[in-house]
Amino acid sequence: MTAGPVDSETLLKGGAGYFLYHSIGMFRDKARLIQQGLSEYTNLWSKPDDSQWPQALAIRQKFIDRWRALIHADAGTLTTSDNVTTALYSLFGSLPAAMLKGRRVLVAADCFPSLHFLLAGLAQRCGFILDTVPLRPGEAWVRDEDFLSQWNGDVAVALLTQCTSTASYRSDIASLVAHARSVGSLVGVDITQGVGLLPFDVRAPEVDFTVSTSLKWLGGTSGAGILHVRSGLLSQCSPELRGWFSQENPFSWALDAFEYASDARRFDHGTPSIVACAGTLPVLEWHAQQNQSERLAHNRRLASKIIAAADAMGLPLVSPREEGRRGGSVMIRLPASVDTREVIGRLRATGVYADCRGSTLRLSPGDLTTDAGVDRLFTNLRLALTNP
């Protein structure tokens, strides 16, 4: 028996069965807003006069200001980055050698893999020891208490993940940052899987740096990442990836007079990319106008429905059951005997969009997802599992 046909155009085109907010966020006006931003950029960039760069840099600054407002970052502490990996590279490449050499950098085994790949490569060159806190056997996320048990005064930098991409585990950022202050470590947070849905304030508690993209719950474009660095740390940072835009005055071209900008612009380097900022700015402006409490409540209600349906099918929950310890996604474990590619393909054919990491089915209900979408997900998931 195969999954039934899609019973409404809304399920296919309206997003009712869209569960991929952990990958790319969606909302009703997304296409129009991104097109609007890119169209405005196209028009200004194609006008044969001398106004292109002032207008383009103004778009980038508005993008920065929107992000600052979103995470409550002070003026001059945030700049753009292509992605979280380049943001973290810029940060580590800016720290004094003596701060890292011979000391540990602490990270959890369930961090975003790209960041671990980067840190593993930097460890030998920068002279630090990469210490990865492991998962307990059979568990899906690294416990905060295990992270804390490996964290003492020889940890130079600890990288936290607000919400994990594999279990949607939400770290207790407040207690982890308090520990960082007690032992004198720098502490940074990757907020990619939470920002736009869950509130985050870089000042409460105060973190040393923050990295993210605009892709997921925010619904922006790829390439629209950010790096935030606490103002008190900025003066100690000398980014090795630097260029003419790293200066207070980019048009100071004296080869023997380079001097870093006094603020986060020191993390800029060559000619900045504007296109991703242009495409994402209207999305950030849309997001700022939404009722965030209602958006989160919608997610929580559908997440509870997903958990109840998984329980009814006897499918183990991979994410925390406690709402306060969970991000916006719900992960459930499919039987090991199941071909997950086949399952995802059959769901896709019915207008239900999700993905798997190994045997873990990742489900993230967002703005466009509806009760009908959740019902259709589990109707067809049951068919796929009982009639392979």
Q: If you average pLDDT over every residue of the chain, what do you get?
A: 95
What CATH topology corresponds to 34-288? Aspartate Aminotransferase; domain 2 (3.40.640)
177-189 pLDDT tens trace: 999 999 999 999 9
pLDDT at 13 over 70: no
Q: CA 222, 164, 191, 207 torsion: positive or negative?
A: negative
Q: Name 137's Cβ contacts closer than 8 Å, sequence gap at least 6.
A: none
- Cβ atoms < 10 Å from Cβ of 323: 11
pLDDT of the residue at 15: 86
pLDDT at 6 over 90: no
pLDDT at 341 over 90: yes
| Residue spans per domain, the chain | 9-21+291-386, 34-288
Local structure of 163: helix, strand or coil: strand
Burial, 272: exposed, middle or buried (Cβ in 10 Å; 0-12, 13-18, 19+)?
middle
22-57 pLDDT tens trace: 999 999 999 999 999 999 999 999 999 999 999 999
pLDDT at 2 over 60: no
56-83 pLDDT tens trace: 999 999 999 999 999 999 999 999 999 9
Q: CA 332, 335, 341, 345 torsion: positive or negative?
A: negative
Q: Rounded to an integer, what distance in angstroms lies between the CA atom of residue 219 and that of residue 217?
A: 6
pLDDT of the residue at 5: 46
Describe the strand order of the beta sheet including 209-212 as a list of residue ranges.
78-81, 225-229, 209-212, 186-190, 155-161, 104-108, 129-133
pLDDT of the residue at 14: 65
235-279 pLDDT tens trace: 999 999 999 999 999 999 999 999 999 999 999 999 999 999 999
Task: Label the pairing between strands 155-161 and 209-212.
Answer: unpaired
Q: Rounded to an integer, what distance in angstroms lies between the CA atom of residue 205 and that of residue 223?
A: 28
- Cβ atoms < 10 Å from Cβ of 270: 11
- Inter-residue contact 262 to 47 (CB < 8 Å): no
pLDDT of the residue at 11: 46
The domain 9-21+291-386: what is its CATH number?
3.90.1150.10
C-alpha triplet 84, 90, 95: angle, nearest 5°: 130
Q: Fold identical between 9-21+291-386 and 34-288? A: no
- Mean pLDDT, residues 371-384 taken together: 97
